[in-house]
């Protein structure tokens, strides 16, 4: 029973990401002209209305069929792993929930608009970073959390291996 509660909890996190992503995109589409930019912190952070028909950095422009197929496969895989692998690993479950919400958020844009609505525009150490959105942020956060989980799993397996054979390394 606890397992199903956790799965439900992870889906609630994904739903929150989707709702936050879609509501912010709705605000941008309905209140800004494409290309319009509002400075939040000069030379650092802007809200810029932008559209992207490709992936990160505008690669694969116009390849919607490819994005549809890849996203459906990724969503199915994430849902499978939430159910099968996240048992007892809350960090893994939350990371997968963030990735699920991000993937679905951008998928909704591609299906409805045939493009992704982006609006977070940053200059990091003078670099004009590509404009992104909440879904993109959730995907990145999810991947970082997944990498942390993988490092923790690796450390745990090394500790078990070293503990089982009696050796200990400081």
Backbone dihedral region for residue 41 (phi beyond 0: left; psi -120 to 50: alpha; all else: beta):
beta
Q: Is the pLDDT of residue 3 over 70?
A: no
**For the chain, percent of residues with pLDDT exceeding 90:** 69
Q: What mean pLDDT, rounded, does the chain reach?
A: 89
Q: What is the CA radius of gyration of the chain?
A: 19
CA dist 86 and 146 (Å) reads: 11
Contacts of 85 by beta carbon, 8 Å cutoff, 6+ apart: 92
Contact present, 21 and 105 (Cβ < 8 Å): yes
60, two tokens: 């694969």
- Residues acting as catalytic residues: 118, 136
Question: What phi and psi, each to the nearest 5 degrees, are found at residue 104?
Answer: -70, -40
The pLDDT assigned to 88 comes to: 80
Position 67 scores a pLDDT of 80
Q: What share of the chain is helix, strand, coil (3-state, %, to 5)?
A: 65, 15, 20
* Helix-then-strand count for the chain, H and E: 4, 4
- The 10s digit of each residue's pLDDT in 106-124 is 999 999 989 999 999 999 8
> CB neighbours of 134 closer than 8 A, spacing ≥ 6?
17, 20, 21, 24, 25, 102, 105, 120
């Amino acid at each position: 029973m606890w397992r199903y509660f956790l799965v439900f909890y992870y889906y609630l996190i994904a739903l929150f990401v989707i709702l936050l992503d879609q509501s912010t995109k709705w605000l941008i589409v309905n209140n800004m002209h494409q290309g319009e930019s509002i400075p939040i912190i000069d030379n650092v952070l802007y809200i810029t209305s932008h559209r992207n028909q490709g992936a990160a950095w505008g690669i694969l422009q116009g390849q919607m069929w490819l994005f549809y197929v890849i996203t459906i496969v990724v969503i199915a895989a994430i849902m499978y792993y939430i159910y099968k692998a996240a048992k007892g690993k809350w960090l893994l479950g939350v990371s997968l929930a963030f990735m699920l919400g991000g993937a679905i958020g951008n998928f909704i844009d591609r299906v409805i608009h045939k493009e992704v609505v982006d609006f977070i525009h940053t200059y990091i150490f003078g670099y004009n970073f590509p404009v992104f959105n909440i879904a993109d942020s959730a995907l990145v956060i999810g991947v970082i959390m997944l990498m942390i989980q993988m490092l923790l799993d690796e450390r745990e397996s090394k500790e078990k291996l070293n503990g089982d054979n009696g050796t200990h390394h400081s």
